[in-house]
């Protein structure tokens, strides 16, 4: 009974405070079409094609705390990638506390703050990264690009973490810490487990270790310039040959209708049996034909330790259209040495419609 009364009292405090908050609900719908194949794929994967969709609803609130003059923001997202069989609540979950005077934020969050473990690339101007092109086009296991990863390294930003962010005139600095790094399904093989502690469930690793990431995102005070730099590392896992780490740097510059960008990534995922370290170089160029049409070129080169087939290379041309309430991106891509297999070349076409509400 004591516990029930305490819980009820806390709930009353939260409800009474909500009158001073501003809550919004937004969303996004993406409908994709892709067709892709490789020279050496099996008969049933030589030319895969089809539609896909992603739906996301964002619930956000913000207001003022009644002590210290701190700003408060919280929210979560409900996301469904295709027909998702795992949790729908693993994206953009956060509680932020900001000092408006010093522009310092403390964030307790997942998939929310600036971080490296996304398809972040300063060379991508219309949304389709090398990894994204193949995943949207329906490549199957063994025929996809293995040297371009969406979430490399310890993935601090996708685990629940505590972070501090400091906004300045040249950009925002960040430092994040998680007590339990999450699984990377691309290279790791360790199963996850649900840990129950004090009547609160969390998803963690059977052997996950703590990890940190420091970063910077900003224009350095230069008009048209955008840069970022991240470094992250996971504590050594006993019995593992490779420690998870990530280095991710990017720079882009826009002058009138032209934009250029470059990204360098170097990372490894924790692996018990071998050293699997990847390096990626992305090069991008975009031209805004008018206010509604943009054309972009992308070249990406990926290489892993011990590769014998040569670098994986992805090249694409993409066109973006602003249709008012709907955006559209269409493109064509070619690939060399897919899945670390010599002369296993491929191509893909893709279209994405994006609607926000």
Q: Do the Cβ atoms of 203 and 181 come closer than 8 Å?
A: no
Lowest-pLDDT range of 70-79, 80-89, 102-111: 80-89
Q: Among 55-64, 85-94, 118-127, 174-183, which stretch is predicted with the lowest mean pLDDT?
A: 85-94
Q: Is residue 1 part of a domain?
A: no
Start-to-end Cα distance in the chain = 44
Tell me whether residue 152 is exposed, middle or buried, using C-beta atoms within 10 angstroms of its C-beta: 0 to 12, 13 to 18, 19 or more.
Answer: buried
Q: How far apart are CA 291 and CA 260, in angstroms?
A: 18
Q: What is the pLDDT of residues 149-167, one digit of tens each?
A: 878 888 898 888 999 999 9
Residue span of the structural domain in which 296 resides: 24-356
**Which residues have C-beta within 8 Å of that of residue 151, sequence separation ≥ 6?**
117, 118, 158, 184, 186
Fill in the DSSP letter of residue 42. Answer: -
Structural domain includes residue 15? no
The CATH number that applies at residue 218 is 2.40.160.10
Mean pLDDT to the nearest integer, 318-338: 90
Write the pLDDT tens digit of every residue in 119-156: 889 999 998 888 777 665 444 444 556 778 878 888 89
**7 lies in some domain:** no
Q: Is residue 5 situated within a structural domain?
A: no
In-domain check, residue 164: yes
Tally of domains in the chain? 1
Q: At residue 80, does pLDDT exceed 80?
A: yes
263-291 in b/e burial notation, b at 16+ Cβ within 10 A? bbbbbbbbbeeeebbbbbbbbbebebeee
29 found inside a domain: yes
19 lies in some domain: no
């Amino acid at each position: 009974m004591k516990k029930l009364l305490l819980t009820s009292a806390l709930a009353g405090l939260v409800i009474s405070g909500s009158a001073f908050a501003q809550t919004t609900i937004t969303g996004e719908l993406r409908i994709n079409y892709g067709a892709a194949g490789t020279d050496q794929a099996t008969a049933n994967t030589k030319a895969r094609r089809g539609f896909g969709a992603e739906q996301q609803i964002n619930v956000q609130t913000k207001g003022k705390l009644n002590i210290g003059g701190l700003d408060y923001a919280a929210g979560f997202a409900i996301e469904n990638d295709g027909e998702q069989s795992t949790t729908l609540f693993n994206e953009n979950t956060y509680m932020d506390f900001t000092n408006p005077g010093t522009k310092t934020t403390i964030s307790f969050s997942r998939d929310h703050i600036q971080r490296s473990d996304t398809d972040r690339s300063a060379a991508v101007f219309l949304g389709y990264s090398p990894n994204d092109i193949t995943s949207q086009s329906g490549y199957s296991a063994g025929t996809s690009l293995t040297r371009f990863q969406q979430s490399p390294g310890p993935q601090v930003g996708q685990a629940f973490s505590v972070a501090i962010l400091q906004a300045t005139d040249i950009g925002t600095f960040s430092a994040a810490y998680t007590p339990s790094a999450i699984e990377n399904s691309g290279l790791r093989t360790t199963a996850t487990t649900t840990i129950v502690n004090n009547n609160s469930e969390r998803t963690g690793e059977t052997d996950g270790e703590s990890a940190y990431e420091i970063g910077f995102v900003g224009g350095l005070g230069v008009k048209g310039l955008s840069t970022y730099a991240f470094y992250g590392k996971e504590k050594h896992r006993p019995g593992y040959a490779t420690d998870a780490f990530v280095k991710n740097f990017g720079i882009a510059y826009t002058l009138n209708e032209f934009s250029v960008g470059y990204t360098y990534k170097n990372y490894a995922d924790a692996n018990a049996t071998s050293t699997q370290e990847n390096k990626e170089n992305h090069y991008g160029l975009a031209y805004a034909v008018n206010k509604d049409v943009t054309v972009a070129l992308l070249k990406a080169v990926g290489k892993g330790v011990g590769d014998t087939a040569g670098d994986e290379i992805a090249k694409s041309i993409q066109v973006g259209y602003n249709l008012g309430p709907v955006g559209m991106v269409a493109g064509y891509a070619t690939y060399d040495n897919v899945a670390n297999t010599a002369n296993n070349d491929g191509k893909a076409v893709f279209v994405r419609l994006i609607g926000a509400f």
